[in-house]
Chains A and B, each alone.
Chain A
Amino acid sequence: MPALLDVSGVTLRYKTSSAVVTATERVGFSVDRSDRFVLLGPSGCGKSTLLKAVGGYIKPSEGSMRINGRDISGPGADRMMIFQEFDQLLPWKSVLGNVMFPLLMTRRLPRKEAEQRARAYLEKVGLTRVVDAYPHTLSGGMKQRVAIARGMAMEPDILLMDEPFAALDALTRRTCQDELLQLWGETRFTVLFVTHSIAEAIKIGNRILLLSPHPGRVKAEVIDVDQVSSEDGSAARLERQIHDLLFAGSATAH
Chain B
Amino acid sequence: MGEAKILIRDDAIATSDTHGEVERKLGVTELLWNDGFVRKAVIIVVLAAIWEAYGSLLDNPLLFPTFHDTVLALVDRVRDGTIPLRAWASLKVLFMGYAAGITLAAILTIVAISTRIGTDFLETVTAMFNPLPAIALLPLALIWFGLGNGSLVFVLIHSVLWPVALNTHSGFKGVSNTLRMVGRNYGLRGFPYVVRILIPAGFGAILTGLKIGWAFAWRTLIAAELVFGVSSGQGGLGWFIFENRNLLDIPAVFAGLLTVILIGLVVENLIFRTIERNTVQKWGTQS
Contact = CB atoms under 8 A, between A and B. Distances in A.
Nearest to A154: B186
Interface string B28-55: 0000000000000000000000000000
Contact of A81 (B182, B283, B284): B182
Contacts of A88: 178-179, 182
Interface size class of B (residues with CB under 8 A): 20 to 34
A101 B279 contact: no
B200 A92 contact: yes
Nearest to A91: B283
Interface string A235-251: 00000000000000000
B103 interface: no
A102 B184 CA distance: 10
A88 B188 CA distance: 15
A165 B187 CA distance: 25
A174 interface: no
Contacts of B282: 134
A90 B187 contact: no
Given A83-B178, A88-B178, A90-B179, A57 B283 contact: no
B116 to A, nearest CB: 15
B181 A83 contact: yes
A229 B212 CA distance: 62
A76 interface: yes
Nearest to B182: A88
B283 A92 contact: yes
Contacts of B184: 57, 74-75
Nearest to A138: B284
B203 interface: yes
A136 B181 contact: no
A77 B178 contact: no
B182 A90 contact: yes
A87 B181 contact: no
Nearest to B180: A57
Interface of A: 52, 55, 57, 74-77, 79-81, 83, 85, 87-88, 90-92, 101-102, 105-106, 134-137
In order of increasing CB-CB distance, the 5 nearest A-B pairs are A136-B284, A91-B283, A92-B200, A75-B184, A102-B186
